[in-house]
Structure 1
C-alpha cells in the first residue's frame, strides 16, 4: 500500500511539472505506475488520432490511416519499443475509442495488443479509459507477469492515475487548440498586413502565399488567376519555388477542363486536397505529372461568389494529413486574397472607385487615407460618418469638423436639390449606382468646386436605407482641360476656315487692289484720288490680314518690321473707320465727337497693317461702347523710350470681372454679334511687337485702352517700290477660273502692249496652248478639274522652254529647286500690285532665252 501511495505521489508530481515535454510526461507516468504495482512488467497508452492533432506533439504523431494508435510503451526492464498501430481489430479498447463499444471494464485479456509487445511471461492486462470533456481520448493499459490478478486497490490506483492523466491531456488539448487559434489569428493578421502594406498586388499575394506555406508547414505555395475565358489558371505569384522548377512553374498555365482535381474545386467552389497523389486519380494529368509531389491542396479564390483564381499548396516529398481547421483557414485566406485582387483591379479602373467603398471602412481605411479623391460615408439621414483627409486639401474642411454634419451643408443650392432627389429615390428603392456631377463649396471663400460623385446606397436585410458610401473626384482640372480642348478645337476649325477662305479673299482683294491702282493712274479729281488711296490702303491691310491668317495656319513665315509713324497710323485708321463713328452713328440718331491729340513721337519698328488693325479694333469697340453717343479720344505721346497710343470713350465701361477676361479668346459681351477674337488678336499683335496693353475702366464712366511700343535704335530706309522693268511685248496665255482676276491681268498686260489670250480653266488653257505659240504662261494654282501644278507639268512636257508663272492666293513656301521640279519658273502671290505684275512679266519674258 505504501508503495502505491508513493507511486501516486510521483505520478502527480510528474503530471504537474510544467517543464516536462509531452513524451517525457507520458513515459514518466508509465514508469512510476509500473514501479508502484507489484508484478507489473509492461505499460502502454493508446490515443485517438484527433487528440494528436490537437496536441501537436511530434512524439505522438498518429500512424497514417489509423484512427487509434499506440502513443507510448514502457517495459519494466527492457528497451522502449517504438509507437505503432494497434494490431488487434477486436480489442475492446479499440472498439471503445472508435465509438463502436462501451468503455472497457477492468479485465484480464489473454492476447498482446502489438507484436512488438509480445512477451511469453505476460498473461493479461488492465485497461482504464481516458476522457477529455466527456469524450474518449485514449486508454491506459498495464500488464502483469503470468496470471497475477489486479487487486481492488491497484485498480483504484490505476483509475486515479488515469484521471490525473486525463486532466493533463485535457489541458494539453485546450492549450493545443489555443495555440492553433493563435496561429490562425497570427496568419490572418499577416495576410491582412500583406494586403495593406504594399500597393504592389503581386508582392502582396506572394506574401500571402508565404503565410499559407508557413502555417501549413508546406514546401511551396502559389496563387493562380483565372484567365478571361475561364479555361486556364495562369501563374501570378508564389513562395519558395524550387530552383530547378522555377521557370516551368512561372510559365506553365494549369488547364481547368480535363484536370479533375482543379475542375472539382472550381465547380464546387470548395477546397480539394490529397495526402497521397500517387493513390489519387484526380491528379492524373500531364501538367501535374510534370511536377511530382506527395501531397497537394487547392483552394479556389472567390470574390462575390465568382472564381477569380486559386491557391495551390504543395508538399514535394512528405505526406501531409489535412485537418478541417487548416483547410477552413486557407479557404478564408483565399477569399481575402480574391477580394484584394478584385479591389486592385477596381482601383486601376477610375470609374469604379465607388464600388471599392462597399468594403469595410476599417479594412480600406489605409487606402482611403492616401488617395487624392474624397471618400466619405453618410448615415441614413445624410450626415457624415466618415470622410478622408483628402477633403481638407481640396475644400479646406478638417474631417472631424464634418462628422455628424449634413452632407448638403457643403453643396451649392442647385446641387443640394439634386442630392435630395437622390436620397428620395433611395427611399423608394429606385437608386441604381451611378455617377453625378455636383458642386461643393470651399470652407474659406465659398467658391464652388465641381465634383464627379459616385454614391452607393447601403441597406439592411429588410431593404431599408442605412446610409451611403461615395467617392468624389475634383473635376476642376478636367473642366479646365475640356475648355482648353474646346478652345483648341474652335481655333483649329478657325484655322481650317482661314486656310480655305484666304485663297478666295486674295482673289477678291486682288481685283479691288488692281482696279484701284489702275483708276489712280487715270483719275484727275483730288477727292477721287483720296478715296482710291483709302481703298488701296484698306485692300493692302486686308491682304496683310489674310497673310496673318495664313501664318496662323502655318502657311507663311513671319514678316520683317519696318519704321512706322504711329501718328500716321492713327490718321489712316480714323479715315478707314469714319463710316462707323460718323455715318452709322448719325443713322442711329447719335453723335460721336472725335478728339485727337498727336504728340511728337519717334518712329517705331513694326508692321503698319497690323498696327492699323489693332487701332481699328479699339476704335470700333469704343464706338460700340457708346450706344447713346459720346466722345472718342485718340492720343499719342512719347514717354521714357516708349511710344504710347490710347483710345478712350465715355461709354458704359466694364466691371472688374469683364475687364479681367477681355483678352481671353472667344470671350465677348456682344452676344452672337461678337466673335471674342478682336481684342485677343490685338493683344497678340502688340505682344509680337514687344509692346504692352493696359485697360482702365469704370462702370458708367468709360474705358481707356492704352498701348505702348518700344523705340529701338534700328533704322531702315523706306522700302522702295519695285519698279516695273520695260519688257518687249509678248504673247501671253492667262489661265484663271476667277473671271475678275483673269480680266484684271489681261487689262494690265494689254495696257503695256502685250497680246493676251484668256482661259477659264486648266483644261481650256492646255487646249489653247496646243493651238498657238506663247511667250509666257500665267496660271492660277487652285482650279477645279486641272490644277496649276498639272498645267505647268503638261506645258513643260510639250514646250520645256516656255516660262510658266504660278499665280496663287495660297502661301507657298517651296524653294526654287522644288518649283523647278514641278515645272514652275515664277510665283506671283495674290493680292498683287500692278508693279509686281509688270516686274514678274518682264522677268518671265526674259527667261525665254535662259531656259
Structure 2
C-alpha cells in the first residue's frame, strides 16, 4: 500500500521570512516599519512588549492611526485635553515624515529613545530603545560624581555590559524556544495526518511519543499511550506477538514484518527502526489489509483464469463425449444384461456422472458471479445446515454447533453461505478419515460475522496451508477435484470477507470465515418511479428484503407523501416524468437514487448519496440502502 506523500518542506519565501522574523526578534530594541499608506508591515516582539500592545495592533496591515489612538487614550503621551486632535497631529507628522531622533519620558516614568528614518520605497522604520537605566545612571553620576571612585565606575560599566549580554542571551533563548515550539507543532500536525501509527518506545517498551493514530490502525487499542507500555496499550495477546521483534530492534536489528491483529483480524505491517542514540525504537504501523486481500485475490484470480483457459477449450468436446457415453450406457442399462455386465454399466454411468459434476465445477471457475443477499436469521439457518450435513458424515463423526448470535436478521446470501459451510464440513469429515468431532462456531465480532469450522483430525500440512485455496489442489489422493476450498474462497471474497486457514493448538484443522455484519433494519421506503413495470420490480425487491413500501408515480406525488409519519428512506429514479429525483433531498430522510444513465453523466454526478445503476440485484439495493442510512449523522 502506497502511503500518501506529504510535503513538509518550507518554500524559499517562507524560509526567508522566518529568518528575518527570527533576526528581528533577537534585536534588543523595539522595531516597527510602516509603509507609505501608514500601515504596519513589520514589527518585532519587543515592539509589542515595550508598548504593551494587543495582538490586533501588531499584525501586518494595522493602521498607524489606530495604534496612535490606542497609545494616546492610554496616556502614553501624558494628559491630552483633546485626544482626537493629538491623534490627528501625529498622523499628519507621519505623512510628512522626516528623519529624527529624540528621547522622551513615558507616562510610567520610563525613558525611550526614538530614532526614525525614511525608506526609499515609502514609509519609514523606527527603532525604540529603553534608556531608563542609562538615564538613572546619568542622574546618579551627576548627583554623586565627586563621591564615586574610578573602581565604582569600572564596576558599573562591567555590570551594564553583563546586563546587555544577559538580555541578548535571553532574547536568543526565547526565539529558539519559539522556533522549537513551532517546529514541534508542525511535526505533530504532519504526523497526525499520516494514515499510520508513528511512535517511539524506550528500552522498557514504554511509549515516549505517539501521533495518536494507534486506535485507527489497531481497533480497540488505547488512544493516549505516551507513558504506557506496549502491553498496556495493546493487551497481552498482541504484545506477545510484538515483543520478540521489538527486542531484536532494541538490539540494533531493524525489523519489517506483518501480523494479523487478534481483535479485528486486520493485517498490520510494522517497521521497527533502532534509535541508537536514544536506546529505543521508532515504530511505523500501517493497516495493509486491503493490499493483502487485493494481492491474494489477484493471485487467486490469475490461477483461476489460467485454469479456465486450459479447460475451456476441452470442456465443450468433453461434454459432448460424456453426453454420448451417458446415452449409450443408459440404453445398455435398459437391456436385460448379465449381472456382471449390469454392474459394469452402472459403474460406467457413475463415472460419467462424476465427469459431468466435474465439468459443472470447472464452469463455475470462470462463470460470472454475483451474490443474492437477503434477510437471514442465522440462528435458524445454521441448525438447518447441520441437519442437512449430518447424514452425509462418516459413521461415528459428530457435528456440534457453538452459536453465540443475536436473534436478529442479517443481510447475506444464504445459499452461498450454506454451500461454503457444507463444503468445509465435508472436507473436514474426509480429512479425519475416521470417527471424530467437527465444530461449527458462529459469533458476532464487532462489524464482522465469524464462522469457524474446526475438526479433530491431523490438521493442515504446511503445504496445504499455503496452497489449499488454489484451484485443483487436493490432498485426497485422486478422490477430489480440488475445487471446494477455491470456491469457498471466491464466495467469501465476493461477499467482502476473508478466509483464514490454520491449525488448532489442541490439534486439528480450523477454517475461519469473516463476513461483514450487515444487520437488517426494516424500513418504510418511499419509492418514486414513473415506470409502472420497474416500480413493481423494485417494490418486490424491497419487500423481499423485509421493508415496507409506499409508492409514488411522479415527483409531485412523492413530495406530497414525503412527510408521512414513519418514513425512513426515499428511493427515487433520477429522471421522473415531472422533474428530477434530486429535488427530494433535504427532507430529513436519506435519499438513494437509481438510473440507467452511464457513469460520468452530469445528473449522476449531482447526487450527494448512493446511486444505483439499473438493473440491479437485491444485494446491491440492500447495500445502497444500508450505506445511505449509515451516512446519516
Q: Where on the TM-score scale, by shorter chain, does this alignment land: which range?
A: 0.3 to 0.5
Which protein has greater RCO, CA pairs closer than 8 Å, 6+ apart?
2
* Bigger Cα Rg: 1
What TM-score do the two structures reach when normalised by structure 2? 0.33
- TM value normalised by structure 1: 0.26
